[in-house]
């Protein structure tokens, strides 16, 4: 069984800046799921056999309800900027990276290794600003928009590395 902490999700907080600034989701989240929303078409022929065609996916996730504003967090500041400026279009475009890690033999001495990493274009939309007495919250939605690419992940630099294999 893979522990949940080893499936990492990063968002580029530069939103199209000259150098990516990936921030890992998770500090305030009790759970995070990507809904794949497959576009499935089924059809039966006159003999009763059914065919299934997967036409694609419309991947969406929600960072809700607990995403707290943090003065020192680049992603937090960008989400608040998007909300405050009522950003739209290309202002909301960035990339996300999903990484599966494998713990070292001795988790305290050996760093985890990267099993796989995928980067994909995405649109990030703030949903609200406010919250309860625990702090300012800005939950948001992530819509993956394609250009999914396999690569690797540099754990020390928080950097996606494009595969050079042909």
Mean predicted confidence (pLDDT) in 55-63: 93
13 pLDDT tier (thresholds 50, 70, 90): very high
Would the pLDDT of 166 be above 70? Answer: no
**pTM for the model:** 0.88
pLDDT at position 100 is 96
- What's the topology of domain 4-162? Elongation Factor Tu (Ef-tu); domain 3 (2.40.30)
- Whether 164 shows a pLDDT value over 90: the answer reads no
For the chain, domain boundaries: 4-162
DSSP secondary structure of the chain: ---GGGEEEEEETTSS-SS--EEES-TT-S---EE--EEEEEEE-TTS-EEEEEEEE--EEEE-S--B--TT-HHHHHHHHHHHTT--GGGGEEEEEEEEEE--SSTTTS--EEEEEEEEEEEEEE---B--TT--B--EEEEEEEEEEEEEEETTTTEEEE----
């Amino acid at each position: 069984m893979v522990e949940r902490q080893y499936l990492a999700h990063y968002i580029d907080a530069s939103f199209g800046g000259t150098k990516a600034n990936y921030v890992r989701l998770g500090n305030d989240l009790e759970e995070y799921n990507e809904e794949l929303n497959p576009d499935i078409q089924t059809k039966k022929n006159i003999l009763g056999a059914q065919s299934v065609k997967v036409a694609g996916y419309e991947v969406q996730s929600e960072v809700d309800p607990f995403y707290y504003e943090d003065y020192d967090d680049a992603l937090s500041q960008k989400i608040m900027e998007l909300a405050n400026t009522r950003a739209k279009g290309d202002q909301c475009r960035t990339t996300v990276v999903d990484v599966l890690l494998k713990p070292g033999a001795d988790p305290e001495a050996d760093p985890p290794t990267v099993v796989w990493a995928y980067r994909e274009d995405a649109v990030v939309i703030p949903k609200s600003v406010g919250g309860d007495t625990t702090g300012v919250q800005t939950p948001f939605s992530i819509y993956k928009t394609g250009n999914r690419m396999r690569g690797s992940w540099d754990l020390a630099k928080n950097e996606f590395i494009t595969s050079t294999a042909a």
